[in-house]
Structure 1
Amino acid sequence: MTWLEGLCVRQCRTFAPESCSVECKYWNKNGFPYKLKFMEDVPKNLPWVELGDNARRQYIDAITAFDAWREAVKAALAVRGGMYWKAAGKTDYLIRTSVANAQKSLGPRSEETEAMYASFINRKRGAEERETSLRAAVQEHQRMNRALRVGRVPAIVVDVLNAIDAAGLSEYFTVVGTHSLYAYEAEAGVRFLDAGALATQDIDLLWDTRKRIRFVTTMKQRGASMINVLRKVDPSFTIVEGQTYTAMNKNGFEVDIIRREQAEDDAHPIQLTDAADDFWVVQARNATVLLNAPPFSSVVVSATGRMARMSTVSPVVFASFKHWLAEQASRDPLKRPRDIAQAKLVERLTEEYFPHLAR
């Protein structure tokens, strides 16, 4: 390949416009892809490539459908259970039932309770129909995502995020560490060229101790444990002996749950639930910086086309934290080069796509 060929913006690696399947906006009538008068058009030597137009359009359409479906799921959950009239003596009473078949009387039959019943039935029917329709749309988008290679997030990561969301626990956890890069590249519409920057066999989840009481109440009401949430994704997830903040599945993929260093009225140590085999979250140095960071959220897509919304920290804070981490004497020397590489990569991405976040 000549230096001129190397300037071609098309990833098909051709310098012949007649053999290029996609029209390149940089080609001019002389065959040279850039006007020398406007050399800013020449692409910079960037550590990523942009998604093609078709993949970008598909991603935009897919996340619109996905977010609408998530809202529809929440609306359908709000009307789970049912309502019916129960005769008691000479009067009918309106009864509200839960999924667990718990029953509560809403009062005797009257114009008010009849209106309440009619409203509930209509809302339930509408919510279920909307959720069913949007679920079908999302499934179609998943097929298109896969066909156009929109994403490359490991399937296990998407499944874990969706399991946490389905359990109603997303607000308590923030993705930190290497997997955050997937959210940044998805939002920017690019793909990092250095696969090593994203290579990892564990996902770090930062648990918000400030919301502990609400979290514990939610888990008790549902009779749930965090380890069982993960086992809905893969039954082989087990707490690692001697490292009780980590769960590992049969393939060696790990989920680590960390927390800020003890502050205010934080308890210590903390087990997420009363279940004997559940996580004991570990304190992470300087994690308060991540906990207080501006949030950053993006829909990520797996190679199979499945989607999940990932909540992480601002890329500005991510880069700053990685620089700090690399400077710590206790940091594993083998991890320092990647910390620095990730920090610089995200800094450059922020300059190009998220400059407003650095202000």
Structure 2
Amino acid sequence: MFPLCFLLAIGAPIPGDSSRGAAVFESQKCIACHSVGGKGARAAPDLGKATGRAFTPALMASLMWNHAPRMWPAMEAAGIAKPELTEQQAADLYAYFYAFRYFEKPGDAGRGRQVFLGKMCGECHSPSGSGAGPEGALPITEWRSISDPIALAGAMWNHAPRMREAFTRRGIKWSELSAQEISDLTVYVKNAPGAKAGEEKFSPAEAETGELLFRVKGCGQCHRGSLDISRRYFGRTPADFAASMWNHSGKMVQLPPELSPAEMRRIVGYLWSTQYFEPFGSPRKGAKVYAAKKCGNCHGDKSWYAPSLVKRSQPLNSISVVTALWRHGPVMQKQMAERKISWPVFKENELSDLIAYVNSLR
């Protein structure tokens, strides 16, 4: 499901880590009903299944919100305590679901092989065997970064200058890759005989240090104004990022700066945070959602029923919505029932719009 770098209530950036998210998934008993990638119970949907590339964290938060009133009675009947997620735990869960390509279209090994051959990868990279091939290229069985989309993007970025030179020497035209082709190629490589791909992982670093590094590496000198990539990156997936890095490196006039694995994680953390800290919903539409869902009945400026959504000290985002849902949702549902107010159901982009509206009131 979710973003990988988020803000705590005090506004400091925190990273989501898929390894910690896996532990949260078990410790909070999510695994008692749900599975991820086939691991876990089957009483509720597998949360690791791909759902399409347009699926955003706000939409996932909407699904959790809409489903919660049915989940809580089911958990009570099964004797499972309701989890009270911290924002750190919610961020980690987002990263865990991302590690299973929750936001990616499913890759296909057959299509991946066609990409490998069609893009001339096999001219230098052997699909089997060991040892370096032409131009010192490693066989695909040695591509250890293939299970980590950030490491994969970093490896492609750092190797691009050498590959450009090799392409020129061998008369091979630079081939761009789509996000779907990256996903297909990833599945093909991971399933190759003798492949040494590690466990699926997605763990970007702190957004704050990534923003500084983005400037230090010179990225900000070009990527500003109409070329600002913070808004272009909204709703993108790890494969989108890897494909963009690859395609961009082939067009750069100057050689791209080399990035260490830690630096790549910092930059990804920064880019990822921009789409979750600043939801791109419509405040105008959000005002209509606020009225239609009767949010102001309890969350109005002078309400004593619930915290005010007007003039919040900190911006609202998908993470804080999920955290509030699990911490206060059952009480909220009870109070709404007493006042004969129906539980609000969010469709399409309504939650994004509502978040944008609430933030516009700060």
Same fold judged by TM-score > 0.5? Answer: no
TM-score with structure 1 setting the length:
0.21
More relative contact order in 1 or in 2 (CA 8 Å, sep 6+)? 2
TM-score with structure 2 setting the length:
0.21
